[in-house]
Amino acid sequence: MMVVSRIRFCYGCPVSETERLHFLVVDDDRAVREMVRAYLEKLGVGRVHEAGDGDEALIALRRHPLISFVILDWELPGISGLDFVRRIRQDRGFSRTYVMMLTARADEKGMREALEAGIDDYLVKPFPIQKLKAKLDRALDTDRWLHAVRFGEFLVQAGLITAEQLEVGLECQRHLDVSRLPLGGLAVAGGMCETQYVLRRLCDSLGARVREPEAVAALLQSGELWSALIGAERFRSLISLGESGRLMIGETFVGLNFLTRQQLESHLASFFSHRKLGES
């Protein structure tokens, strides 16, 4: 999706975007909340809110509209995890909030029920930080795209663009945003290294673990790997390319002459001040 998102969880790599993220951790076990908080803080997340049950979680969402990710225990006192998800999915303000379910259950029937309730992903306890990292990488990529869609829909509702213009803008966003490319895609496309060289390096570094998808993914997202492959100076230019090549959906609409810059700035402020869960 973008270079920054692909490397945001690599220790020592830029985390400026990650530092602006707000998470809500919901679990009646304080020890579990503290463990998840510690994991998230180690991964560079800027703000972690906590709740001990579903009622507290709903209050937290109302008070902190910047929360965009919820990590939720299945078994909660009062409102169950599934009922909590069903409730927020009925509210337009949180219908697309990313929800990851924590559970000790791994049976197919239970997982199907959770997915039907509206969760986006789940994590079986106990879990290592690497597993959470991989899940959040995918979640963050998904959230950025949904955020673009949300803002576009907001502009349609405000009467500033048409539904057809939104579709055109999203299509341009999809193809022109070079920061959506992973580090490897940018490096290979930029002629900084060859694919076969990268694959040989993976085999040499991982050995037998090259058969493990998560190990391969973690190494390919590592800033240390790419710095070693292409050199520190080229690696810095790669990061710069990803950051400068980030195309925001609002800029797309302005570039297509669907909006003026003044309209964009005015409605961005309105969009970000919007209160969730029905609050105006």
Whether 269 is in a domain gets the answer no
Instruction: Look at residues 3, 6, 48 and name the one whose alpha carbon lies nearest to residue 27.
Output: 48
At 6, which amino acid appears? R
Are 51 and 108 members of one domain? yes
pLDDT of residue 7: 31
**What residues make up the domain containing 67?**
3-143
Whether 16 is in a domain gets the answer yes
Q: Is pLDDT of 155 > 70?
A: yes
Instruction: Summarize the confidence of residues 89-93 as an average pLDDT.
Output: 71
Whether 149 is in a domain gets the answer no
Are 125 and 195 members of one domain? no
Give the residue, 144 or 112, on which the prediction is more confident. 112
Are 134 and 195 members of one domain? no
Q: Is pLDDT of 142 > 90?
A: no
Are 138 and 185 members of one domain? no
pLDDT in tens, 112-137: 777 778 888 888 877 777 888 777 77
Structurally, the chain folds into a number of domains equal to: 2
Whether 276 is in a domain gets the answer no
Are 101 and 200 members of one domain? no
CATH number for the domain harbouring residue 72: 3.40.50.2300
